[in-house]
């Protein structure tokens, strides 16, 4: 496991960087784990989701690039075979709940507040759904309660969204490019963001579980 120290802080904005986000202070009692993948991503997502425990105090959101004609329910059925969490295709205005995995439907953007928002806006980074769109909405509305995960894929979708999560105080994880089937997306993030973890797939579930538990423990201590 490679852990990358992060020196980027709230006031680290540089010329040429995206403008700082207007992050809302999170009042949520659970985290959100946002996963993005493209080429080679289905098997990677299946492996990662299978590692997450049923007791995970987080809602999990997945954006996977696939064709407009793809049948989302077939993908959900494959992902949930070995999952201990409830898996479904995200629905507009659906309440966000911990212990659930929400898969972005084909050809619409997935955004999150207290509820799910499905939007037919223009493609970003050539894709709809876009990983960046999901990550940025998580950064704004969940702040330090957001965890971003970028897996295998081509091009650079997810990079600016991961930057947003980092700036909001969230945690950033990328798949080790040395094992990713298509390393472009992890490498793109690493070139622009000082991530918290660079991990092989087999260790991601354990680390995500640890992050979520530590956040919950910290919140409990603050309430005492």
Closest residue by Cα to residue 56 from 97, 114, 3, 103: 97
Q: State yes or no: is 141 an active-site residue.
A: no
Q: Residue 136 and residue 148: Cα distance in Å, rounded?
A: 10
Q: State yes or no: is 65 an active-site residue.
A: yes
- Residue 172 phi, psi (nearest 5): -125, 130
Angle at 41 between CA 36 and CA 47, to 5 degrees: 95
User: Which of these is catalytic: 26, 31, 65, 109?
Assistant: 65
User: Which of these is catalytic: 31, 132, 157, 196?
Assistant: 157
Q: State yes or no: is 120 an active-site residue.
A: no
> Are the C-beta atoms of 173 and 166 separated by less than 8 Å?
no
Contacts 24+ apart (CB under 8 A), 83-89: 83/49, 83/50, 83/52, 84/52, 84/53, 84/54, 85/49, 85/52, 85/54, 85/56, 85/60, 87/49
User: Which of these is catalytic: 26, 38, 83, 168?
Assistant: 38
Residue 51, CA atoms < 13 Å, CB-side half-sphere = 17
Q: Residue 142 and residue 31: Cα distance in Å, rounded?
A: 8
Which H or E run contains 189? helix 184-192
**What interhelical angle do 41-51 and 201-223 show, nearest 10?**
50
Residue numbers annotated as active site: 38, 65, 157
């Amino acid at each position: 496991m490679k852990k990358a120290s992060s020196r980027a802080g709230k006031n680290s904005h540089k010329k040429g960087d995206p403008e700082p986000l207007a992050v809302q202070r999170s009042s949520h009692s659970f985290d959100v784990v946002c996963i993005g993948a493209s080429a080679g991503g289905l098997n990677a997502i299946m492996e990662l989701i299978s590692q997450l425990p049923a007791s995970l105090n987080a809602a999990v959101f997945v954006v996977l690039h696939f064709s407009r004609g793809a049948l989302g329910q077939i993908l959900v059925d494959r992902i949930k075979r070995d999952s201990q969490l409830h898996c479904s295709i995200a629905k507009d205005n659906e309440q966000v709940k911990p212990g659930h995995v929400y898969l972005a439907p084909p050809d619409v953007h997935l955004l999150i507040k207290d509820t799910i928002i499905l939007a037919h806006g223009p493609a970003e980074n050539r894709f709809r759904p876009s990983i960046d769109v999901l990550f940025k909405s998580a950064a704004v509305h969940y702040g330090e309660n957001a965890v971003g995960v970028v897996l295998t894929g081509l091009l650079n979708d997810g990079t600016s969204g991961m930057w947003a999560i980092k700036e909001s105080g969230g945690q950033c994880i990328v798949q080790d490019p040395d094992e990713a089937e298509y390393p472009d997306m992890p490498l793109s993030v690493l070139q622009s963001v000082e991530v918290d973890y660079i991990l092989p797939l087999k260790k991601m579930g354990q680390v995500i579980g640890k992050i979520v538990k530590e956040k919950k423990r910290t919140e409990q201590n603050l309430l005492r």
